[in-house]
Structure 1
Amino acid sequence: MKWLNEPPRWSVDDGCLVVTTGDRTDFWRETFYDFIRDDGHFRFTEVAGDFTAQVTLAGEYKALYDQMGLMLRVDQNNWVKTGVEFTDGRAHLSCVITRDRSDWSVVPAPGVAGDITLRMTRHGTAVRVQFLTTSGEWQLLRLGYLPLPDTCQVGVMACSPQRAGFRGRFSNLTITEPIARDLHG
């Protein structure tokens, strides 16, 4: 795996990637805040075709917008990031889809306690984001569209738009063949 914007501190301990963010890092394009940021930390590999990426997240969320999760990236104008983000005084599930301009959806994490496991699946130009509930069921967080070439960058990201020093731990990262297209069980 390679870094886009390598963080000031990172290590791999017992198979887990531990990242400490740099100062005021983020991935965002224009919407609402009228700025462009492309300096978040992203550790990725190139993936051809459809896939499912899955990871478990544990972070020391303290400051507004501290965040970590999965990312699918074509270039600086086209990408998806999803994970846990600290807003309104607590951690939320978050997903941003960027097609020249970023959108943002955020929701409290019902049925989730402690570490959070997420997965992102590419099916052609559709991107499906799910999280694992405490009852062991996959819950849909977002289904979106992104024009995707055959090969994209896929991996984990961490950002701290308001500070330096957000620390997060990524465990059990897998990138495999895509799960079935069934949305409703």
Structure 2
Amino acid sequence: MKKLLFGLLMAVVAQTSFAQTLEKMQWFNESEQWEIKDKTLLMFVTPQSDYWRISHYGFTVDDAPFYYATYGGEFEAKVKVTGDYKARFDQAGLM
């Protein structure tokens, strides 16, 4: 029983130790207004900003805020994306 409890405790410590925190990430096109509160990133996205990679119209756009970390190999991401969407095609997501 002690080994089982010790194993569970070590698993929790390992997960907590190796988990990515929002404070360790970095910005590409930093948002003018943002904060981290209760393990949640809140940001204001500039209207008319976007990400497009070589569209069928022939243009590329990458002027929206992007908060990221770089990883190698396999990983798991758990996210919840919400927004106060105002217009058609307003969206947010994971890149």
1:23 matches 2:56: no
Long gaps (5+) in structure 2 = 1-24
TM-score normalized with structure 1 length? 0.36
Moved over 6 A (4+): none
CA distance in 2, matches of 1:29, 1:47: 21
Choose from 69, 73, 77 the match for 1:53: 77
The structure showing larger relative contact order (alpha-carbon pairs under 8 Å, at least 6 residues apart) is: 1
Judging changes above 3 Å, is the alpha-carbon distance between structure 1 residues 70 and 63 closer, same or farther for their aligned structure 2 residues? same
C-alpha displacement at 1:26, in angstroms? 1.1
Tell me how many residue pairs correspond in the alignment: 71
**Letter of the 1:46 counterpart:** T
**Matches of 2:66 and 2:90 in 1, distance apart?**
14
Amino acid at match of 1:69: G
TM-score, normalised by the number of residues in structure 2:
0.66
2:19 matched residue in structure 1: none
Among all aligned residue pairs of Structure 1 and Structure 2, give the percentage whose two residues are the same amino acid.
Answer: 39
Q: CA RMSD of the aligned region, Å?
A: 1.4
Gaps of 5+ in 1: 72-185
The structure with the larger Rg is 2
Q: Post-superposition shift, 1:65?
A: 2.2
How far 1:23 sits from its partner (Å)?
3.2
